[in-house]
Every structure is written in structure tokens, then in C-alpha cells.
Amino acid sequence: MAPRNARLGIVVLPAAFAALTFLYIISIPYFSSIDEVHHFEFVRFLLREGRLPIVTEPGLRTAEFHQPPLYYALAAALGKAVLISPLGSLEGMSQATLVFYAARALSALFGLLTCWLVNSCLTAGDSRLGQPP
């Protein structure tokens, strides 16, 4: 890949990803995917209880509490930050909706960082990912 094209790719690919992700966030109704509600329950549990769940604890009904907790903890922290910010009192939006969209935004940020990292490695000719075409 020519250096000019490489620089263009570093800008275009993440920009296209960001645009498509933004469209997804605003156009797909929440809890549309089959397991989204279960993932969100993990975030809500962390916000409500302030601790990690014990999978065998009676009364826990979600299928995602066995997942590694880093993303969920970050989503809960971001959700809490949104709720105590001026955004937390937006007219017509419930607190759960605000936390949900904050978690989706966090997922989008992780996706964008991954896209940028892979693109940067490929355009730099990183031997771990193979040579650029």
C-alpha cells in the first residue's frame, strides 16, 4: 500500500466505522438483539449493588453474569458518571435509557479503537498481522 493510501486508510476506515456505529446506536431500538438485555442486566447489577455478582446466588436470573467483568464495570462507571452529570436529568429519558446508551457508546469506542489499531498495524507492516497487500 502506498504511503498516501495508508494515511488515507487510517482516516477513512475509522471514520466509516464511527459513522456506521453512530447510525446503529440511534436507529436500532434498545434490547433488539437476543442477549442485549442480559448484558445490560450485568451493568445494572453493578450500578445497583456496587459489587460483582456471585453466579450461584439465588435470584440472579441473567445468563451473562459469568462474563469477564471489565467491560461491564467500565460501562457501569460511565453510566454512573452520566447519571450524576447534567445529562442525568434529560427530559423524557429514563435513567436506564441513559445508562444503556452510555454502554452502547462505550462499545462503539472500543470498536473504534480496535479498528484504528488493526488498521495502523496493517499499514505499518506489522509482521504479527502480515504484510499489507
**pLDDT at residue 60, rounded to an integer:** 73
E strands, 12-93, are: none
- Is residue 132 included in any domain, yes or no? no
- Is residue 37 included in any domain, yes or no? yes
* DSSP secondary structure code for residue 67 in this structure: S
CA–CA distance, 121 with 115 (Å, rounded to integer): 10
Return the residue matching grid coordinates 496493517: 122
**pLDDT at residue 1, rounded to an integer:** 45
- Is residue 133 included in any domain, yes or no? no
CA–CA distance, 133 with 121 (Å, rounded to integer): 13
- Is residue 128 included in any domain, yes or no? no
Q: How many domains does the chain have?
A: 1
**pLDDT at residue 125, rounded to an integer:** 60
- Is residue 11 included in any domain, yes or no? yes
**pLDDT at residue 4, rounded to an integer:** 64
pTM, 2 dp: 0.73
SS3 content of the chain, % helix, strand, coil (to 5): 65, 0, 35
Nearest one of 40, 112, 32 to 72, comparing CA atoms: 40
Domain that holds residue 97: 3-123
- Is residue 80 included in any domain, yes or no? yes
- Is residue 48 included in any domain, yes or no? yes
- Is residue 113 included in any domain, yes or no? yes
One digit per residue, pLDDT tens: the chain, 133 residues? 445 666 666 778 778 888 998 898 888 887 887 888 888 889 989 998 999 888 788 877 767 888 889 999 999 999 999 888 887 777 777 888 888 888 999 999 999 888 878 777 776 665 555 555 5
**pLDDT at residue 66, rounded to an integer:** 84
CB atoms within 10 A of CB 67: 13
